[in-house]
Structure 1
Amino acid sequence: MKRELDDLLEILLTRRGISSDERERFLHPSYERDLHDPFLFSHMERATERILSGIARGEQIAIFGDYDADGVPGTAVLASWFRKVGAPARIYIPNRHTEDYGLSERALRELAGGSVTLLITVDCGISNAAEVALAKELGMDVIITDHHLPPEILPDAYAILNPKCDGENYPFKELSGAGVAFKFVQALVRCPDAPAVGGVNWEKWLLDLVAIATISDMVPLSGENRVLAYFGLSVLRQTRRPGLRALLNELRVNPAELTEDDIGYLIGPRINSASRMSHAMHAFTLLMTEDMREAQALARELEAQNRERKELVEVIMEHAHGLLDASTLPSLIVVGHGGWSLGVLGLAASRLVETYHRPVFVWGINEDGFMKGSCRSDGTVNVVELMRSVGEGGLFANYGGHREAGGFMVAEGREHELAERLIAAYELLKKPASLNGGIKTDCTLSLSDVTQDTYNIIIRLAPFGMGNEKPLFLFEGVEVAGVRNFGVKNAHVELLVRSATCPARGVVPAIGFFARRTVPHAHTLKECDWVDVVAHLDRSTYRSRPTLRLRLVDVSRVA
């Protein structure tokens, strides 16, 4: 059995391109060995000196953060250092519903009115050349910390920390916004002239925030991100933050059993729900509060907002399906309505990509009468490059984002022009979709392999995410021994499957969450059907009863 498990580990590492020389580092990350020196950032020394001199002179300092589950934790990372050294810093996170993404004239004038002379951005700012110029006119130095793709002309900031900038020396390019903020704090802690924080590697206690951001923002979990997420999960399981402890309690997550899935499916969406449904400062306050009563109230509030968010997405989805004719859909979808809630358009776009398997741009109307929206790729195009290619002629008031997801704003009444130009550009830029629906398994297992020993091998590769996908297995020729639909509107399905070749194993549960859209054939199965199953091996801790099960990705009948 040990030889078979060693073979499985070898297969999984090889499939992920982990060479024999890299395996020790991959399987056993080291905080001291595997993180790069933060002063490799070209502007890091300049940035740290400006922060420390500003504190010494008693300047008014502000931190301007993005409103998502990367920017909010990233802002908390930097704010935690300021709190620790006893230096006041004003926090400004824009209102997702009434303000643009990134720096704005409104925010800058408000901050200048409060005598702010040093402004630090988190997870934004790299595309705000005009706004940074205005900040300088208003008497502010700006330090940009960001990770988004930079434009051709960079802002004239005092310092820029962004690993993606051309000519930047920092060796790892895929940090999250919070990851860049963490490197900034890591550098500040090392400065000999910085106020003492107490203890070696004090900043490691900030990694719970970095893990939330790194996993929520779906940056590749390779290189330095793997190290940050690996140790961040460890810190999160023992977090000192009352807000995170209260949120985990509200979600009924046992901290000791917490995984990256709990961040991706539970914690991240709750942090995002604050900005989508009200204001991101509620989530920021949850992360920063030192009062357990306040933490519990905020956790309950975020959970209520998340329920409301789900309801709004369902309303948009039903309306969008009515607006789209599946038989005549173009290669790229542009859909919107003036009544749709701006805060949940990105979620609706992701759901539409799942349904229609093509890039989607979804828009609503903001208070200023602009079409403001979100877009998601199906993997065949970089949506930022796509928007850049049609940006000539002032179509977009602004746009930005990542390869897979972005945001945009267009003058009202130009929806037909937007669709026509995006579709035309997409036809020139698109790459072929992967074959077989993109499903690639690591290897074939039998139900007799569904054991704790096998699971222990798999989790040695954790945490999983983009760039280190959770292992996916094919189980051939298994019999359906039972089918059960459950959840709201019977959205989920549980199959009980067994194998004729190993009857002693008994039945194995196979769960498909939201199966009607994610595993559509599962709802058509009945007892005694023979099927091939593609699934992850999963460990459920429902009601504190650890159980091994399969998480369905695909299922098909066999003769």
Structure 2
Amino acid sequence: MIDVSNAFVALRSQQPIAWIEPAPIPDTVLLESLHPNPVVAEILWRRGHTRPDATSAFTDARPRPAPSPWRIPNMEAAVDRVTTAIRNGEKVAIFGDYDADGVTSSALLTRLLQPHLGEERVLTLLPERSEGYGLSLRGVGDATRFDASLLIAVDCGSSDHKTIEAAHQAGLDVIVLDHHRINGEPPEHAIVVSPQLGDDHAMRDLTGVGVAWLLACGLAQNGIQVADPPAKTERAFLDLVAIGTVADVSALDGINRDLVRDGVDILRKTIRPGLRAMARVAERDLRSLNATDIAFMIAPRLNSAGRIGSPRIAYDLLMERDPAFAERYALELERINRQRKHLAATMQNEAAAQIIERPDWDDWPVLIASSPDWPAGMVGMVASKIVEASGCPTILFEEQEDGVLVGSARAIEGVNIGAMLDELGDLLIRHGGHSGAAGLSLHRDRLEEFSESLADLMMAVEVEIPEPPSLRIAADLAPESVSVDTVRALQCLEPLGRGNETPLFRINGARLMQYSTMGASNDHLRVTVRHGDRQLECVYWNAAHRSSELTERRSLDLVGTLGINTWRDNSRLQFELKDFRMGP
């Protein structure tokens, strides 16, 4: 009998973590021409910013002009149709998605249209996870009963041919604002605005809320007053764009980097009662908020509503103008988020126990598990945790009463799960996604055939599975660089996230001073070291089991991130460990 409470530990890769050395910098490179801080200059050079003009542009924190909305296929037709709806006072229905990208997109479009049409002429619809992903027939029916003449599907719809045909038959004009992979041709009876339809690769990583914001920019250029009172321009919506983009784990380079950087600046000064209330409840100061805080503080709370309930409460929080009501929404989201964390921990161990019950589980290139007790809105998040622990692509399913499995797949670098599901489409009821993540459903009696076929496809790919764990070192830290000044200089690299990762630093030969476990369950490790003349406190989350390795050790090599830990108005330098080795 497997101990479910500890099963997740068994999935963890037993391979040592490889430290990927930072690329050597030629002596001919004048680092001081790239940035006055030598650590920042090294990182910029290693990330491909090798010319002074390029590094200056990359680190320039001034607001950037919006990219041209006309670079996205069919944007002009969409802007013309929305302009007509505004000028004719038509009723408009907005259909979003249940995640943070879909919720922020829906809030943006609603706030965009209501000042022109009035609240009574704009209907915003958000699906629950139980309805499945995409524009639903229920949504079409609700729009029809509302007597809408225009239906805007945002962050979904680009592959919903049958539903859009039903909307067309019902007399609705349809606009799709989406960014997801499109299988085959887009729906015939819709204006489909998607960067995936064009060959402008700079636009490909836009999210649903990014596409929605560019529609707003197009309307502004088309003579429509676009504002979010009391702000007077379309840039007022960039806080929502930043949240949706970071929450959707989109690459933070190119256009997304500009949108998120400017959006974070607006978010720090936001007057939205809901976001201010959320920050208060989470005990986070908005004035110093960054993209990492969006990823770990705002996004999980907004997403939690759609994962185990209705996304409506997250939408209501973003739309609420009364601070008292906003506080209630924020407190309710906090409660739901705590529930999500507890459920996720239970699911992780249950899934792990089910996976390792299979005698040859560690020979399979893909890990698959299912349960009737797992909400469909949670399986993707937990699958990501299992991929992180095991290094293997993972699919988790919710078993529904009708014998249908509804699941989420997560992959590793080099495994295009979206393309593989396309190849196995005959075995599936529905699927969609991209290279790293996808959603799918199939009949339970097809699961074994699907699993074996998917395993065959993965074994044909020249990628090592499980993926060897590794840490890419951005730079070595000399004692004089272990400072608050370095942390402040690193802020010019913001926003940090996918495609512009938080830099990992190595400290060689640090002298071990003391160590202890910490946390309510003593799960974490606190280590104090001396590097040259600097004393530094390190924390290593969920690594208490490694404390035995420190017995009678004098010297350590460390890899981690350098930051400032602020708690109750007290700030101090802190190194967040990702791995350590015995030093000389």
Letter in structure 2 aligned against 1:370: V
1:90 positional shift:
0.6
Change (3 A) 1:216 1:153: same
Match of 1:347 in 2: 381
Most deviating of 333-342 and 67-76: 333-342
Most deviating of 246-255 and 368-377: 368-377
1:466 positional shift:
0.9
Change (3 A) 1:451 1:249: same
Match of 1:280 in 2: 311
1:476 positional shift:
1.1
Change (3 A) 1:537 1:387: same
Letter in structure 2 aligned against 1:260: A
Change (3 A) 1:425 1:433: closer
**Structure 1 counterpart of 2:56, from 24, 47, 53:** 24
Match of 1:105 in 2: 137
Match of 2:575 in 1: 550
2:131 alignment partner, SS class: coil
**Structure 2 counterpart of 1:176, from 185, 207, 226:** 207
Contact 1:482 1:526 in 2 (8 A): no
- Rounded Cα–Cα distance in structure 1 between residues aligned with 2:186 and 2:62: 35
| Deviations 1:412-471, CA, capped at 9 Å, x for gaps | 232222211111111123534798623111121134421122112211111101111111
Contact 1:124 1:145 in 2 (8 A): yes
**Structure 2 counterpart of 1:525, from 550, 554, 578:** 550
Letter in structure 1 aligned against 2:398: G
Match of 1:8 in 2: 39
1:11 positional shift:
1.2
Contact 2:525 2:539 in 1 (8 A): yes
Change (3 A) 1:37 1:531: same
1:128 positional shift:
0.9
Match of 2:490 in 1: 458
- Rounded Cα–Cα distance in structure 2 between residues aligned with 1:228 and 1:345: 30
Aligned residue pairs, count: 546
Contact 2:105 2:208 in 1 (8 A): yes
Most deviating of 178-187 and 543-552: 543-552
Change (3 A) 1:277 1:423: same
1:62 positional shift:
0.7
Letter in structure 1 aligned against 2:110: A
RMSD of aligned Cα (Å):
2.3
Contact 2:152 2:175 in 1 (8 A): yes
Contact 1:484 1:494 in 2 (8 A): yes
Change (3 A) 1:436 1:321: closer
Contact 1:442 1:471 in 2 (8 A): yes
- Rounded Cα–Cα distance in structure 2 between residues aligned with 1:547 and 1:311: 30
- Rounded Cα–Cα distance in structure 2 between residues aligned with 1:250 and 1:119: 36
Structure with the greater relative contact order (CA < 8 A, sep ≥ 6): 1 or 2? 2
Answering whether residue 103 of structure 2 is matched by residue 69 of structure 1, we say no
1:46 positional shift:
1.2
Answering whether residue 284 of structure 2 is matched by residue 253 of structure 1, we say yes
1:441 alignment partner, SS class: strand
Match of 1:95 in 2: 128
- Rounded Cα–Cα distance in structure 1 between residues aligned with 2:511 and 2:227: 63
1:199 positional shift:
9.0
- Rounded Cα–Cα distance in structure 2 between residues aligned with 1:198 and 1:378: 43
Alignment of 1:143-292 (within 5 A): 143-165=175-197, 167=198, 171-193=202-224, 202-292=233-323
- Rounded Cα–Cα distance in structure 1 between residues aligned with 2:571 and 2:189: 52
- Rounded Cα–Cα distance in structure 1 between residues aligned with 2:392 and 2:227: 52
- Rounded Cα–Cα distance in structure 1 between residues aligned with 2:314 and 2:165: 30
- Rounded Cα–Cα distance in structure 2 between residues aligned with 1:250 and 1:528: 42
Change (3 A) 1:198 1:209: closer
Change (3 A) 1:221 1:193: closer
**Structure 2 counterpart of 1:427, from 459, 479, 483:** 459
Match of 1:515 in 2: 543
| Deviations 1:314-369, CA, capped at 9 Å, x for gaps | 11122122212287321111111222222211121011112211100001123543
Contact 1:102 1:128 in 2 (8 A): yes
Contact 2:391 2:467 in 1 (8 A): no
Change (3 A) 1:312 1:60: same
- Rounded Cα–Cα distance in structure 1 between residues aligned with 2:336 and 2:260: 27
Change (3 A) 1:463 1:116: same
2:203 alignment partner, SS class: coil
Change (3 A) 1:273 1:431: same
Answering whether residue 418 of structure 2 is matched by residue 387 of structure 1, we say no
Match of 1:410 in 2: 442
- Rounded Cα–Cα distance in structure 2 between residues aligned with 1:381 and 1:257: 37
Answering whether residue 387 of structure 2 is matched by residue 362 of structure 1, we say no
**Percentage of identical aligned residues:** 31
Contact 2:556 2:581 in 1 (8 A): yes
Answering whether residue 473 of structure 2 is matched by residue 445 of structure 1, we say no
1:535 alignment partner, SS class: strand
Answering whether residue 335 of structure 2 is matched by residue 299 of structure 1, we say no
| Deviations 1:197-219, CA, capped at 9 Å, x for gaps | 78996111111111111111111
2:503 alignment partner, SS class: coil
Q: TM-score, normalised by structure 1?
A: 0.92
Q: TM-score, normalised by structure 2?
A: 0.88
| Deviations 1:526-546, CA, capped at 9 Å, x for gaps | 464422111111111122212
Change (3 A) 1:515 1:82: farther
Letter in structure 2 aligned against 1:89: V
Letter in structure 2 aligned against 1:374: S
- Rounded Cα–Cα distance in structure 2 between residues aligned with 1:244 and 1:556: 42
Match of 2:25 in 1: none
1:168 positional shift:
5.2
Answering whether residue 426 of structure 2 is matched by residue 398 of structure 1, we say no
Contact 2:412 2:467 in 1 (8 A): no
Change (3 A) 1:106 1:39: same
Answering whether residue 526 of structure 2 is matched by residue 494 of structure 1, we say yes
- Rounded Cα–Cα distance in structure 1 between residues aligned with 2:387 and 2:548: 21
Letter in structure 2 aligned against 1:233: V
- Rounded Cα–Cα distance in structure 2 between residues aligned with 1:189 and 1:490: 55
| Deviations 1:256-291, CA, capped at 9 Å, x for gaps | 121212111111000000011210010000001001
- Rounded Cα–Cα distance in structure 1 between residues aligned with 2:573 and 2:556: 20
Contact 1:243 1:299 in 2 (8 A): yes
Change (3 A) 1:103 1:436: closer
| Deviations 1:167-191, CA, capped at 9 Å, x for gaps | 3558422111111111111111222
Change (3 A) 1:312 1:30: same
- Rounded Cα–Cα distance in structure 2 between residues aligned with 1:45 and 1:142: 14
- Rounded Cα–Cα distance in structure 1 between residues aligned with 2:548 and 2:326: 41
Letter in structure 2 aligned against 1:445: L
Change (3 A) 1:19 1:522: farther
1:508 alignment partner, SS class: strand
Structure 1: give runs of 5+ residues left out of the alignment.
Answer: none
1:69 positional shift:
1.4
Answering whether residue 566 of structure 2 is matched by residue 541 of structure 1, we say yes
